[in-house]
Structure formats: C-alpha cells, structure tokens
Amino acid sequence: MSSPPYWVAVIQHFQRRGYIYNGLTIPFLLGARTITEPQKPVFSVSEFLYEAAEQLPGTTLMRCGHIDEYVIADLDKESEVYCHLFRPFGRLFIIDESFGGIKDLSMLVGQLTDLYADCLEKSHYSKVDSDWIPYTDVERSRLTELRDKL
C-alpha cells in the first residue's frame, strides 16, 4: 500500500499534535510541500482539488469561522457516517453551506483558483490576522517536524 499524499500527512500530523481542529487552508497545504518535500513542485489548486476528490476515505471542505477561510481536513470515521448529507465532488465533501451555486468540481476549482491566486503567487501560505503572509516560524517548525518523519 502506498503512503498518503504529502498534504494528507500534513493534515494528520497537525491533527495528531493538536495544532488544528477544523483543518488547514488550501494555500497552507500547497505551500507545505516547499518544506516537507522541497525537491518536488508545488501543486496548483486544480491538481490539489482533483487529487483530494479521489482521496480515500475522503476529504472535507468547509468555511472556518475562526479565520474566515476555507479549510481542508480528513473525512473522519464519525463524519463518514453522514456522507450522504454532504455535497460530494468525488470524495471531496463540502460539509457546510459553502459554494451553494457550484454545480461540479471544475466550477469549484475555478472559484478557489481565483480566490487564492494572489497569495499563492506571492508564496504567502499562512493567514494571520486577516492577512496572507509567508509561514510563521512556528508553522515552519511544525512542518519541519513532519518532514523529518517522512
């Protein structure tokens, strides 16, 4: 069995350590590769979302009220029971009222690509106090913890 994609390992590491509760933003997960697998290219939003839509058991997408941003997390065993209540795009499940007008994965990809284009172009992967910035020292340290385990 192959190991999970790097971004799944990032989510799981951050959850296990109690660093997050709802998930991680798409820019955070995309940029994480610059630290966890620096020899590999950073995914585009499109590549990431299409991979997330195929990931088993599944991936969730929701709006986090704390940072006012969309976050990605693993579909945990508890939530998996309620998959039929979520809006599926393959194995990517929107678990709140976000993206009501979105009809398919390509529309979702387009909207999120537009939303995050500027911060990704600037390599600003972290949202702190309503601003997208490069990773903080703490975030970089947490990603380095994971890199050292991969």
Task: Quote the tokens at residue 51.
Answer: 């991979």
- Say if pTM beats, i.e. exceeds, 0.85: yes
Cis peptide leading into residue 57 (ω within 30°): yes
Residue 106: count of CB within 10 angstroms of its CB: 13
- Alpha-carbon span 81 to 141, nearest angstrom: 35
Dump pLDDT digits (tens) for 18-44. Answer: 999 889 999 999 999 999 999 999 999
110-117 contacts, C-beta under 8 A, 24 or more apart: 112/26, 112/45, 112/49, 112/70, 113/44, 113/45, 113/46, 115/70, 116/26, 116/27, 116/45
Dump pLDDT digits (tens) for 36-69. Answer: 999 999 999 999 999 999 988 899 999 999 999 9
Q: Would you say residue 109 has pLDDT above 60?
A: yes
Domain limits, the chain: 6-141
Are 138 and 17 within 8 A, CB to CB?
A: no
- Alpha-carbon span 23 to 33, nearest angstrom: 16
Question: What is the percentage of the chain residues whose pLDDT exceeds 90?
Answer: 80
